[in-house]
Every structure is written in C-alpha cells, then in structure tokens.
Amino acid sequence: MTDGNVSVVELGLTPEDMGIQEDPPYRDVQYGRIYDKLEPHQLVNIAVLGNISLEIDEENLGLERISMANLQKGWEKNRETFTKRLVEHGIDLDPFTVYKYYQIQRKAFQVLGKPIDHAGARNSRLRELGDKIKLSETKGHAMCSEYAILSAYIAQKIGEPAHLLVGTVIGNDKEQWREAHAYVWVDGLNAVFDSVQAQSDTDYPALMMPTSPSPSLQTLESGLDVECNRLGTGFTAYYGLEAGGFGTRLAHRDTIAT
C-alpha cells in the first residue's frame, strides 16, 4: 500500500495504525492460552488477568550454539554413559529423546538460574521492570512462566513439536487447588515438559508422562486435565488449561469440587 510514492513502511506505519487487526500469536482455549509458535522478540502474556508480557530477547539469552547438529554431536560423545544411567534408573524412554530435553532443561537453568521459591520476591521484581519485560532480565527471579517460555522456544529451535501452555497444575495438594501454571506440551511424546520442577541443571528432565493412554493436546483443549507421572520418580501432577477452583477434570473420572 502506498500514498503517492511513499510506502506505509517508509512512514513507519504499523498494521494497527492502518486499522488492520492481526491475529494474536496465541489461542485462547478453556480460559487458558496456547502458543503454538514462538518467535524472536515475541511478547508472551503471562498474566492470568491483565497484561504482563515477557519478550523473548534471543540475543541476550546465549542461544547462539543451540541447534540439532550441535545436540547430535554432544549425543555421540555421551551416548554410552547417558544410556547406561537411564537403564540404571529404570527409564525406558528413547535415550536420545531424554537427552534432548535434558539439554534443554540445562540451558534453561544456565540462562535463568535456579527457580525462585517465593512468588512475592519474583512479583516484586516484575513490578520493578514494568509490564513489558525482557526474558533475560528475569534471571534469578524466574518461575514457571519464564522456564516454560524458554524451554518451549529452545525445543522449537531444534525442531521439536512443542507448544507453550498458560494454564493450570494440580500437585499433591489434598484440596486439589487449580494453581495457575505455564508448561510445555510435546506432540509425538504426548507428554508435558515442566522444567521448573527440576532442582538443578543436573536433574533428569522433568518430562511428565501421562498415566492414561493416548492423551493429546486436543484432550486439554476439550477442557479435560491430563494426569502425569514425572519420568524416573513417583511424583504425580495434573495439567489443564483452566486455573482457579478445585478438583480435576479427567476423562476416566470426575472429581470437580462443587
């Protein structure tokens, strides 16, 4: 589109300036939000209510060497030792798949630091930074949202079919409170990757494997939760898209509080 001989690009006009409504980079589903594709400098709204956006400032995240080719080189060097340890821990998932998510999780820890335990301190930090925050600025104050964004972004960068979900998790709370939570869904594996569950960059990847057969992203989109066990541990959590309230919504049983 031009005005005479001057293009709107040269005038610095945005689609919004011209009244054009672009599709948002996410899908609102069941009171949650799904980002199917993340791009450099994309803003990700992590607020359940309102607007607090994190920018994926790739140039400040140290991701220059992240590629499938480099990952495969590391795998060739570590294949035997890594596979042996998986066998020792009774983990029968494809070793290279575990290795990929182990390396994604390690990188998230290196970039963001250990997850902060106190939401109050983290929220204070976010208020200091304003409503548009660079992901790199959250180092040392990161929680689930930051970990999930970076983990999904790296996974997509190496070609993994990963989606960022802003939804809910129900842990070992007896009251089954549906806590707001961000995590990654991995197609193919049909599993959750919840790297913030790890305690250090040497932990095995926090792959949460469904306990029921054949769940998918569509299961979550339909309003149901997915019950998962963490790989190599006995930890169980329930993942969904609608935060707030109590109880789980499972295909094989319904325990929604009334």
pLDDT at 250 over 70: yes
- Per-residue model confidence (pLDDT) at position 102: 97
Q: What is the DSSP letter of 4?
A: T
State the pLDDT at residue 5: 53
Q: What is the pLDDT of residue 121?
A: 78
Quick: pLDDT tens for 154-191. Answer: 999 999 999 999 999 998 767 788 999 999 999 989 99
The confidence score (pLDDT) of residue 136 equals 95
The pLDDT tens digits of the residues spanning 64-105 come to: 999 999 999 999 999 999 999 999 999 999 999 999 999 999
Task: With a cut of 80, say whether residue 18 has pLDDT above it.
Answer: no
Average pLDDT, the chain: 87
160/117: higher pLDDT? 160
Tokens of 184: 């990654």
For residue 214, what pLDDT is reported? Answer: 82
Residue 15 has pLDDT above 70, yes or no: no
pLDDT at position 14 over 70: no
Structure tokens belonging to residue 94: 């494809």
Residue 1 is predicted with a pLDDT of 41
Collect contacts of 223-228 with beta carbons under 8 A, ≥24 apart: 223/30, 223/249, 224/249, 224/250, 224/251, 225/168, 225/170, 225/249, 225/250, 226/192, 228/191, 228/192
pTM above 0.75, yes or no: yes
Query: Which pLDDT score, from 0 to 100, does residue 47 have?
Result: 77
Contact 166, 145 (CB under 8 A): yes
Poorest-confidence range of 10-19, 131-140, 213-222, 224-233? Answer: 10-19
Residue pLDDT, tens place only, 135-161: 999 999 899 999 999 999 999 999 999
Beta bridge partners of residue 166, listed in sequence order: 33, 182
